[in-house]
Amino acid sequence: MTIPIFYSISDDFTKYAAVSLNSLVKHTDPNKDYTVYFLNQDLSSKHQKALSDLSSSNVHVKFFHIDDQLVQPIQNRKENFLRADFFTMSIFYRLFIPELFPEYDKVIYIDSDTIVNDDLAELYSTELGDNLFAACTDSSIQYVDKMIKYIKNVLALDPKKYINSGMLVMNARAFRAEHFIDHFMTLLEKYHFDCIAPDQDYLNEIGEGRILHLNPRWDAMPNENTEPLTNPGLIHYNLFFMPWHFANVQYAQYFWDSAKQTQFFDELKNELNNYTDDERAADREKLDHMLAKEDKTEQDPNNWAKVKKREAVTL
């Protein structure tokens, strides 16, 4: 039996994914077998080799090309922008994993801006029951008033149960049995919900009531309002807390400890050293830009909350 683990990646994110993959490999059980898939549309052969070179005797690295036709309905429209700033198709790839890999009944998905500090076999052993997936409450937004307001008033969900989609243990069999992708595509094309976090919002809405909430150590996120966890199993550099752009980010040392074991270490160090204060200020402003969307979406007559109330349905 192999433990299937998935990343979604664009070519320009390879160096961060390599650091994550290296940390994953270092924390595997040598008596267990793992297969790591990189879902992509534009990954160069050079970068595929860089990632493949990190494999080991029990960690097999594979690549899966996402066909344009598969994701054609997900268009470059404002409601599909990541963080209200830009469009990247790769955030939606994770939703298709159960359909694309029918041989698996359960899979792990993690974002590329992560560090693995524990054996993901432990995460894979999670009993999902009839839940659609397991994940962690999004701790990065719990102190952001605008996001709390968005989740309550626009999504009509409980912020304490709103999960982050950067780490998922997916009940692939249930996704297929309940035609998750068909449901997602129908909602996407019928309502064009304007989202702050498109894939994440859809997962929270469709999964409501059937999400198993995991220990927060499996999706620890840098946060200026809380003390770091002492034993993070997986660190997720969410929002704009990127150690390759900002010094002294919470949990940054975990990233650099893994980065120095990869061929991208010098490149990543140069990226940090050459990143300007103006660029860091612009990154901070992106958060304000993202949050500014809340006012508009709350007034939208076709936001999640109003559609659910008007149609008296569970979306």
Q: What per-residue confidence (pLDDT) applies to 72?
A: 60
Q: What per-residue confidence (pLDDT) applies to 69?
A: 61
Q: What per-residue confidence (pLDDT) applies to 225?
A: 87
CA dist., res. 21 & res. 310, Å (int): 45
Q: What per-residue confidence (pLDDT) applies to 197?
A: 83
CA proximity to 165, closest of 140, 191, 193, 146:
140
User: pLDDT digit string (tens) for 59-95?
Assistant: 999 999 887 665 665 544 444 434 444 434 566 788 9
More confident residue, 176 or 314: 176
What is the per-residue burial (b if ≥16 Cβ within 10 Å, else e) of 207-246? bbeebbebebbbbbbbbeeeeebeebbbbbbbbbbbbbbb
CA dist., res. 175 & res. 147, Å (int): 28
CA dist., res. 210 & res. 58, Å (int): 33
Structure tokens at 174: 């249930």
Among 89-98, 129-138, 210-219, 277-286, where is mean pLDDT lowest? 89-98
Q: What per-residue confidence (pLDDT) applies to 87?
A: 35
Alpha helices in 67-133 (DSSP H): 97-100, 120-124
CATH of the domain at 208: 3.90.550.10
The domain in which residue 15 lies consists of 2-311
Give me the number of domains the chain comprises. 1
Overall pTM surpassing 0.85 (yes/no): yes
